[in-house]
């Protein structure tokens, strides 16, 4: 595979339209028309919905002054604020309050061969950095080893987010646990602006993980780095004969709420696909009235509940892009971005849908997702 030469990092504050690589027959149309066309018959369903349970006026919505409004009076020290500003100020979405992050830790989480067999070039972590730069991402999240190997060449060119723990998946049988792969100070030494970590809420090891990552995040803040938490659920009981509640709005929302409690600056979460996890699994605290008061089955309302659990949007929610399914990736990515933005979220952290395609197609997809956040006609519902 041939990679184009690196170009200077592009800073585009509030552009009306950005041009990207051609995709199929979609060419230089207005952003909003492109998105509506891609959504097809579902365009009105996603673009015209109004959230009436938790309204947008109750939220802290993303914007260029969001960091001052949220963290200006917080306990985050000036170096953390500078790191957050560097992350939010980078790339095509710089200055908008939204984030487009390229995460590539799948070499550990899903095995390197399975993750990279479609594009073996990505066994070389430098190509991951090239993809994030060319696509105009705010930052790149990856492993200690992959980022450390390229730190002197790239840490000043694009913000590094070091993923400090992983489920290594080589133990058999597999277990729902996350293991620290290095020290927070190692991330600081290589010039990272943030650390990322996963907690498997609901797993047997979740109590230890909460304690471990709380301490790691405290250390990261002391050193001046921001913190991003992957708030994932893992418990066999969450998957019943009728439904998989690992992506239920109420359960993932509670995971988010625990995440912001341990002072994550940004929450990463899967897009919700259903609800009523507490009620149908029959555990925890729930009341039928809470579902009626806060949500509807509409996907934007379900995501709005996730945002509400992030201190009403004061801590940014970025949704994950999910696995790559081939030709449907663009439509799925655009749909996820529209739901996240209209729910009051802060952006997407999308990896496999980008790096499991040829380089230009990966750049194209990431920039088309960024277009959703650059389009001022797509508003918070």
Calpha distance 108→110 (Å, rounded): 6
Q: How many CB atoms lie within 10 A of CB 82?
A: 14
**Phi, psi torsion values for 152, nearest 5 degrees:** -65, -25
Please choose, from the candidates 319, 320, 325, 317, the residue with its C-alpha nearest in 3D space to the C-alpha of residue 346: 317
Calpha distance 158→132 (Å, rounded): 8
Residue 196, strand partner residues: 163, 228
What dihedral do alpha carbons 190, 191, 193, 196 form, nearest 10°?
A: 0
Please choose, from the candidates 252, 194, 250, the residue with its C-alpha nearest in 3D space to the C-alpha of residue 223: 194
Calpha distance 239→234 (Å, rounded): 9
* Cα-to-chain-centroid distance, residue 365: 15
Q: Which DSSP helix (H) or strand (E) runs through 284?
A: none
**Catalytic residue chosen out of the listed positions 268, 270, 341, 353:** 268
**Phi, psi torsion values for 231, nearest 5 degrees:** -95, 80
With beta carbons less than 8 A apart as the criterion, state whether 334 and 39 touch: yes
Q: Provide the 3-class DSSP secondary structure of residue 230.
A: strand
Q: Reply yes or no on whether 268 is catalytic.
A: yes
**Both tokens of residue 197?**
């970590």
> Which letter does DSSP use for residue 239 in this model?
B
Active site residues: 268
């Amino acid at each position: 595979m041939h990679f184009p030469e690196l170009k200077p990092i592009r800073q585009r504050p509030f552009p009306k339209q950005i041009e990207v690589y051609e995709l199929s027959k979609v060419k230089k149309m207005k952003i909003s028309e492109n998105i509506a066309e891609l959504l097809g018959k579902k365009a009105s369903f996603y673009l015209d919905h109004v959230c009436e349970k938790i309204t947008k006026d109750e939220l802290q919505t993303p914007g260029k002054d969001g960091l001052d409004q949220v963290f200006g009076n917080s306990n985050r020290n000036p170096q953390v604020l500078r790191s957050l500003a560097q992350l939010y100020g980078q790339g095509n979405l710089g200055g908008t309050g939204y984030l487009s992050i390229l995460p590539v830790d799948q070499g550990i989480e899903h095995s390197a061969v399975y993750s990279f067999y479609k594009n073996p070039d990505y066994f070389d972590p430098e190509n991951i950095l090239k993809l994030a730069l060319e696509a105009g991402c705010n930052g790149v999240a990856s492993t200690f080893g992959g980022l450390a190997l390229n730190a002197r060449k790239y840490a000043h060119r694009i913000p590094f987010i070091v993923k400090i723990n992983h489920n290594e998946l080589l133990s058999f049988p597999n277990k729902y646990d996350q293991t620290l792969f290095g020290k927070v100070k190692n991330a600081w030494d290589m010039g990272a602006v943030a650390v990322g970590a996963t907690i498997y809420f609901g797993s047997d090891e979740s109590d230890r993980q909460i304690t471990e990552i709380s301490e790691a995040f405290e250390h990261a803040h002391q050193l001046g780095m921001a913190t991003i938490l992957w708030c994932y659920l893992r418990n066999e009981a969450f998957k019943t004969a009728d439904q998989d509640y690992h992506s239920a709005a109420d359960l993932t929302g509670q995971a988010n709420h625990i995440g912001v409690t341990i002072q994550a600056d940004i929450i990463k979460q899967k897009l919700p696909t259903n609800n009523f996890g507490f009620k149908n699994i029959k555990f925890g605290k729930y009341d039928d009235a809470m579902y009626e008061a806060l949500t509807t089955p509409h996907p934007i309302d379900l995501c709005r509940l996730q945002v509400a659990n992030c201190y009403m949007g004061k801590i940014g929610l970025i949704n994950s892009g999910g696995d790559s399914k081939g030709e449907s990736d663009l439509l799925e990515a655009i749909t996820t971005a529209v739901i996240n933005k209209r729910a009051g979220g802060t952006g997407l952290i999308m990896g496999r849908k980008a790096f499991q395609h040829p380089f230009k197609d990966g750049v194209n997809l990431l920039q088309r997702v960024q277009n959703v956040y650059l389009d001022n006609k797509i508003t918070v519902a």
